Every structure is written in structure tokens, then in C-alpha cells.
Structure 1
Amino acid sequence: MRSDYFRSAALAAFLVSGTTLAQADSLTLYCAADEAWCQQIKTTFEEKTGITVDMTRKSSGETYAQLRAEAGNPKGDVWWGGTGDPHLQAAEEGLTEEYVSPNRGELHDWAIKQAEAAGNKTVGVYSGALGFGYNKDLLAKNNLPEPKCWADLTKPEYKGQIQMANPNSSGTAYTMLATMVQLMGEDKGFDYLKALHANINQYTKSGSAPIKAAGLGETTIGIVFMHDAVTQTAAGFPIVTVAPCEGTGYEIGSMSLIKGARNPEAARQFYDWALTADMQGKAKDVKSFQLPSNKSAAVSDLTPDLSTIKLIDYDFKKYGSSDERKRLLSKWDTEVSTLPQ
């Protein structure tokens, strides 16, 4: 009887060990960039390492909400991409792990500052400026003037012609909300958002969806990061990208290791690889035109030149904080989204 017991115990131990070894060869990735880029990252990492990647693509806000929901039993290992504000909030709330990659010295200062602001619980992987794009064919068909400024988008002639994402689910749209508050002051910023609301035909879940809809002729104007508008132009759609004349905010797309991850070694291996020039330089091959955080990464000629764009001094630490983000989203829900259109 005792020998049967020990044989059973040994078999159980072997099975557990086998499961652990299998897990070491797998990685669960939450990706908050464009689907094509996420698929490229998954495939390339699998080919390079032999590690199987289970990738889920969601917007930044959705991914942050998932991390919170899974905090007691984390299912993901790495959160890659999406605007930095929710990454900072996740760091503040203890949902992500501190880690300093040996490749960090290869990064631009803005990427390292993002890491330092989060106690090294996140790091910048790309950057891009907020703006909008319009379908030039629809604009001409409807005899509409070319919008050049944020103020233009509140004009009555654009009623029903504009899409943006919902800031509760989209990091892009939250950046828009925080940008207006910083650019105009909170009262005037919310007045602007209320006026803009009258011209919005749909709040989408994903931040890049509005410009994809504009490319397909489903709306005239999409408020997005400028690189997302450039992607549509590069794909052959009649989209014109605009850097608003008043100035604009920008994102630092980030990456974080999820606290309590089941595959920490594979997660760190992915993290280190995702900061290399070789990995980041491949983004342009799938028409993702963000500015890479690795100083040596290849950059497409189509990537918007941030030095030519009037950027505000975006306060990532303040607007990425849990309290401020919750407060602004609650105010938008109460004062803007409930208004008639």
C-alpha cells in the first residue's frame, strides 16, 4: 500500500513538474496596439525563441480593466503597448512588477522618464502625437472646409461628421480628454468637449477605429493619434493627417510586466527583446508609424516628426494617476456623454 502511495505521489510530482516546464515555454501577452502589429510581435517572438505566445488584442482601457479584474488570479504575463496613462495607473495600484531591463540604456530619455515616473514598473516603447484625420473625398463631396485646428471641429457644419473613441475604454480618447484639460484649462476644456459632443456621430471602443471608419467613408473625421491616420493613408485610403494648430498632447506607449505572472522568465525575455532596435524597427513593415523608443531602431519616413509638431508639456505623472484619471472620466461621463446630440 505504501509503495502504491509513493508511486502515486511521484507520478503527481512528475505531472506537476511537466506542467511547470510546459508553462516555461509559453507566454500570455496582452497587446494594446494595432492588430497587425500585435500579430507581427507574437509571430516574430515565437520564431525567435520557440516560446508559444497566447496573444489577446484589446484597447488600453480594456486591458487595464482586465488586469484589475484578474488581480487575485493573474492570467497575463506582459502588457505591451497602448497609451502610458493606464500603465502608470496600474503601476500605482500594484498591478505590475518593477523591472529594469539590461537594454534600457538604448532608449530615448522620454522612455526612461516614463519608467522612472512609475518606479520602474513600466517603460516607454514608442511615442506619437494626438491629432485627427479626415477623408478628403467626403470633405469635397459635402463641400466642407478643411479642418486645421481643434476649434474647427466644433463648428456646426461638422455635425454628425466626427468620430472619436470613448475615454473609458480607449487610451487614445483619454489622452484627448487630458489634452484638452491641459491645453485649455479644465473648465474651458470641458466646454470644448461638450461642444465637440454635438458633432460626434459615434464613440468607438478602440482608439484607432474612428480613422479606419473615415478611411472606409463611414465618417468624415476621426480623432486619433496621427500615426494611425498616416497608416490609413499608407494603405491607400484618402486620409489627410492634421496636427492641430493650437498644439496637442502625445502618448508614450508603454510595456509592463504583470504582477503575479505565471511565466515570469518568459515575460522578462519578451520585455528585453521588445526594447531592442531590431524588434522596434519592424513596426514599419506592418504600417505602424509610431516613433520607436530605441534610439537605434529604424524609423519610417512616414512617421510623424514630433519636432515639427506643437506639443504641450503633457503631465504624464498627474494624468496617469489613479485618482485624477478616475475623476476626469467620471466628470466626462456625467457632464459630456449624457448630453443630447
Structure 2
Amino acid sequence: MKKSISFILILMTSLFLAACGNESGGESSDEPLKVYTHNDSEEMDAFVKQIEEGTGVELDVLRLSSGEGWSRMKSEAPNIGADMQIGMLHGFALKADEEGYLDPYKSEEWKDVPDKFKDPEGKWYGTSFWYNMLGINKDIMEDKGLDMPKSWEDLLDPQYKGEIVLPDPGTSGTAFLFTSTILQMFGEEEGWDYLEKLDENVAQYTKSGSAPAQMVAQGEYAIGITWDKAVEDFKDQGYPIEGTLPSEGVGYSLDVAWIFKNTDQPEKAEKVMDYLGSKEFMEKTAEYRSMVTKPDITENEELEKHFIDYDAKWASENRERVMEKWREDFSN
């Protein structure tokens, strides 16, 4: 009888401790940390491997373009189906903050990262930043006798009709960065006029921000509006593609990470966030990005001269209005 009572007490104690563990964030769980990302598969695979080796935390990653990811968050809220976002447009971090999706966490690993690259309350952190770039197929330009474009204005020249490919800003963060850059740089009235004229030369709008670089590299089109690393990767593989920064300047965006408020594994998420701010992870990121936010890893003052004073807050606040007009004018 005493043995039976002891067994029951031990069982009840075990169940109680397990329940407490679940209420405190589920850290006793062997479940992987669920992550959303907009990063390309190749680079994200490398990042995941690095994070898992550096933290011991297993990640379960779902890749969605930035537009798709934001739509998914809105449809799932308040019970978003991930613990973290690793890789997303800065503007969406600001919107996610406004919607109350983010869990603040002050990480000591991020102390030396400049304030402009992180939220003061620790709601989001920027690991790197990237920018728009033109990808040019040198062979096509030569074969067809096309002039090398040097500015955004040059792309309106009729000689490029049917030779330009760019992403759809409804699904691609790269494309929305381009669209909002044009509107900020030229002003809205002149900016929309520019986009309408550019549309006359556009052969195709792609879903992915990297797709134009691939299509230009493989000889389908002469010019792609894309982002820096996509061009550089194909160039490194030996494709006849060159990158050009238009003379008026280019927009750039932080690639940010955050912890979702509804996570049931906060300690694991915080451990990963700490690692994202480490020198070790930033050095790995620098293999895939031109610039990282931690000092003394990637310094390029000459490159930064090409960046416009891009207003991510304006882009965030006006995204829905801008996208509604873009769909009306260009999606039909």
C-alpha cells in the first residue's frame, strides 16, 4: 500500500513539474523552434546550419517572400505559426510592432551594433542590409547594340522595350524597395509617372526578387531590376552579368529578425537572437551579404555614397496605399 501511494505521489509530482515547464515557455519541449524567413534558400540553409551548430537549437524554417510572409502573419494573428522571424524587410518589422506581434528582448550581444540598426526596446534587430541593383547581360547588350544604362531615367528609353524584367512588389520585398525608392526619390506624382513609362518597357514581372538576376544571367532578358547579392552570385558563377548602381542612387533595407509575442519557446528564441548578434554569425552573414550591421566586419564607405536617404517608416505607413495603386495600374 505504501509503495502504491509513493508511486502515485511521484507520478503527480512529475505531471506537475511538466505542466510548470510548459507554462514557463515550453523549454523542456524537444520541438524545434519554428521560423519564418524571406531569405533565399541557399543562404538560409547556411544560416540555419550555423545557428544550430552555434546554439544547439533546432530550427524548422518556412520560406515565404516578404509579401507572402506578411499576409500570412496577418491571417494567423494573434496566434502566429512561428516563434521567430529571421530575415524580413525593415518596414514589416515596424508594421509588426504597430500590430503588437513582437516580443521585446534586450540582448547583450547586440550592444555594439549602432542604434539605427535595432529597436530601442529590443523588439527587432537588423543583421545586415541590402540594396537594389541593375543586373545587365553584357552579351545581349552587345549583340543587340543596346546602350549601357547608367541611371533610372535611362531605362525609359524605347530601345529597352521588352528587355527589362523586375519583380512584383506584391510578392517581392526587392520590388517594393524599388517602388518606394522611386516614389521617395522623385516624389509621388513624378514617381508614378516614371513607373507607368517604365511599364511600357517591362517584359515580365516576377514573383521573386532574385528571379530577374537569374533570367538576365541566363540570357532571357538584357536588364533586370533586382538586388545586389543576386547579381554578384551569378557573376561569380561565370554568367555574363554585370551589376550597375543607377546614378540617382538606390534604396536599401535592413534585413531584420524578431521574436513573436505568442512564442511558447521564449528561452530558445532568446538564445538564437543572442547568437544572431554575435561576431561569429555576422561573419557568416557577410559571406552572403555585402554589408552587416556589427562594426569592423564589412565597412564600405564608397558603396554607402550610392544609398539614398531611404525612409523605411514612410514605406511601412504607406505600403497598403502604394500597393493598391500599383495593383490598379499594373496588375491587370
Task: State if a TM-score over 0.5 links the two structures.
Answer: yes
Alpha-carbon separation, structure 1, partners of 2:151 and 2:293: 28
Note the 1:83-94 alignment, pairs <5 A.
83-94=89-100
CA drift of 1:7 comes to: 9.5
Mapped contact 1:78–1:257 kept (Cα < 8 A): yes
Mapped contact 1:227–1:304 kept (Cα < 8 A): no
The answer on 1:167 being equivalent to 2:169 is: yes
2:271 aligned to which of 269, 272, 277: 269
CA drift of 1:5 comes to: 9.8
Give the counterpart letter for 1:155 in structure 2.
D
Structure-2 residue corresponding to 1:253: 255
The answer on 1:317 being equivalent to 2:323 is: no
TM-score (structure 2 length as normaliser) = 0.88
Structure-1 residue corresponding to 2:108: 102
Structure-2 residue corresponding to 1:50: 56
Give the counterpart letter for 1:107 in structure 2.
V
Structure-2 residue corresponding to 1:209: 211
The alignment-based identity, stated in percent, is 30
1:70 aligned to which of 59, 67, 76: 76
Gapped regions of structure 2 (runs ≥ 5): none
**RMSD of aligned C-alpha atoms?**
2.6
Mapped contact 2:54–2:275 kept (Cα < 8 A): no
Mapped contact 2:165–2:223 kept (Cα < 8 A): yes
Alpha-carbon separation, structure 2, partners of 1:65 and 1:304: 36
CA drift of 1:76 comes to: 0.7
Alpha-carbon separation, structure 2, partners of 1:210 and 1:245: 20
The answer on 1:150 being equivalent to 2:146 is: no
Shift in CA distance, 18/134, structure 1 to aligned 2, threshold 3 Å: same
Mapped contact 2:110–2:278 kept (Cα < 8 A): no
Alpha-carbon separation, structure 2, partners of 1:10 and 1:154: 73
Give the counterpart letter for 1:50 in structure 2.
G
Structure-2 residue corresponding to 1:242: 244
Note the 1:212-231 alignment, pairs <5 A.
212-231=214-233
Alpha-carbon separation, structure 2, partners of 1:161 and 1:86: 31
The answer on 1:333 being equivalent to 2:330 is: no
CA drift of 1:182 comes to: 0.8
CA drift of 1:32 comes to: 1.6
Alpha-carbon separation, structure 2, partners of 1:17 and 1:121: 26
Give the counterpart letter for 2:140 in structure 1.
L
Mapped contact 1:26–1:266 kept (Cα < 8 A): no
Q: After superposition, give the CA deviation of every residue in 1:30-83 in whole Å (9 maximum; x if it has no partner).
A: 122221111011111212222211012222222212211221322211111232
Structure-2 residue corresponding to 1:184: 186
Structure-1 residue corresponding to 2:141: 139
CA drift of 1:190 comes to: 0.5
Aligned residues: 325
Alpha-carbon separation, structure 2, partners of 1:151 and 1:336: 19
Give the 3-state SS of the residue equivalent to 1:82 in structure 2: strand
Give the counterpart letter for 1:51 in structure 2.
V
Give the 3-state SS of the residue equivalent to 1:74 in structure 2: coil
Structure-2 residue corresponding to 1:306: 303
1:23 aligned to which of 15, 20, 29: 29
Give the counterpart letter for 1:296 in structure 2.
D
Alpha-carbon separation, structure 2, partners of 1:214 and 1:304: 28
2:282 aligned to which of 280, 283, 286: 280
Mapped contact 1:26–1:54 kept (Cα < 8 A): yes
Alpha-carbon separation, structure 2, partners of 1:26 and 1:229: 33
Give the counterpart letter for 1:312 in structure 2.
I
Shift in CA distance, 39/239, structure 1 to aligned 2, threshold 3 Å: same
Mapped contact 1:25–1:51 kept (Cα < 8 A): no
Shift in CA distance, 131/123, structure 1 to aligned 2, threshold 3 Å: same
Structure-2 residue corresponding to 1:35: 41
Shift in CA distance, 107/13, structure 1 to aligned 2, threshold 3 Å: same
Shift in CA distance, 219/10, structure 1 to aligned 2, threshold 3 Å: farther
CA drift of 1:27 comes to: 0.9
Structure-1 residue corresponding to 2:292: 292
Alpha-carbon separation, structure 2, partners of 1:169 and 1:333: 12
Mapped contact 1:134–1:239 kept (Cα < 8 A): yes
TM-score (structure 1 length as normaliser) = 0.86
